């Protein structure tokens, strides 16, 4: 890196090698604790999106992609206690060859496919080339489309105009001679239908209650006369 570079050295990202053999060799070297001082180098270009990776005498073209999710990086020394070290939101994909088009798995690659309708997500046109659609595990394939909705645009509301109309309605309400209001049901409740047996039982109960009231009143009158 140059001295005037604005790249944060404490930032972490994921390195993905498309060459299977190179990825296996790199993983084996990491497990063996081999030093990468001269065997592995990364050179960033001024746009901080393209890199040149050299490993085992091979040269790879790298691109920094934006992941759809933020991943927490943890560090451990005894495999029991874990410490968070950074939030990872980017991945470097290393390829070999002279391909100039967008990488497979990016939003720009999906746009270039015939009959593509991937125009609904609120991603800037200049960032679609570096927007990765998938996560780092198979269950998160195409996660950007399946789990994230399009950002809803806020509608423009003319608040002064609304205030003016509300004040006009209140002023007209105060100046009115008579005000009437009614409740209008948008969805009127369904009428309750009772069966004949319930109606008969309710009528019988009402008649019995009336008879008991008459008996109580009659007894009360007799007591008063005595």
Structure token pair of residue 95: 């390829």
Model confidence band, residue 151 (pLDDT cutoffs 50, 70, 90): low
Of residues 54, 29, 16, 50, the one with CA closest to residue 134 = 16
Q: What are phi and psi of 18, to 5 degrees?
A: -75, -25
Handedness of CA 42, 46, 47, 50 (dihedral sign): negative
- Residues 6+ away with beta carbon under 8 Å from 73: 12, 84, 85, 86, 87, 88
Of 81-95, 136-150, 211-225, where does mean pLDDT reach its minimum?
Answer: 211-225
Span 110-128, pLDDT tens digits: 555 555 555 444 455 456 7
Q: How much is the pTM? A: 0.52
Of 53-57, 116-120, 178-182, where does mean pLDDT reach its minimum?
Answer: 116-120
Of 49-63, 93-107, 193-207, where does mean pLDDT reach its minimum?
Answer: 193-207
> What mean pLDDT is reported for the chain?
73
- How do 58-76 and 14-17 pair as beta strands? unpaired
Distance CA 159, CA 164 (A): 9
pLDDT(225) > 80:
no
pLDDT(82) > 80:
yes
Structure token pair of residue 63: 């691109």
pLDDT average, residue stretch 91-104: 73
pLDDT(213) > 70:
no
Distance CA 198, CA 177 (A): 49
Query: Which pLDDT value is given to residue 114?
Result: 56
> What would you report as the CA-atom Rg of the chain, rounded to the nearest whole angstrom?
38
pLDDT(135) > 50:
yes
């Amino acid at each position: 890196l140059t001295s005037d570079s604005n790249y944060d050295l404490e930032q972490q990202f994921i390195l993905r090698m498309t060459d299977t053999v190179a990825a296996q060799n790199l993983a084996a070297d990491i497990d063996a604790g081999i030093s990468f001082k001269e065997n592995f180098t990364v050179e960033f270009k001024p746009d901080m999106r393209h890199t040149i990776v050299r490993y085992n005498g091979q040269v790879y073209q790298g691109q920094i992609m934006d992941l759809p999710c933020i991943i927490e990086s943890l560090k451990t020394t005894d495999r029991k206690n874990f410490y968070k070290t950074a939030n990872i939101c980017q991945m470097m994909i290393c390829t070999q060859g002279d391909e100039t088009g967008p990488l497979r798995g990016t939003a720009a690659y999906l746009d270039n496919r015939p009959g593509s309708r991937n125009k609904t997500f609120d991603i800037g046109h200049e960032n679609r080339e570096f927007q990765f659609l998938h996560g780092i595990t198979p269950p998160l394939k195409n996660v950007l489309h399946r789990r994230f909705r399009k950002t809803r645009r806020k509608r423009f509301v003319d608040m002064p105009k609304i205030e003016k109309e509300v004040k006009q309605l209140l002023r007209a309400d105060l100046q009115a001679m008579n005000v009437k209001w009614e409740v209008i049901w948008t969805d009127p409740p369904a009428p309750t239908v009772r069966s004949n047996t319930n109606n008969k039982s309710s009528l019988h109960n009402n008649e019995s209650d009336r008879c008991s009231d008459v008996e109580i009143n009659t007894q009360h009158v007799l007591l008063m006369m005595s």
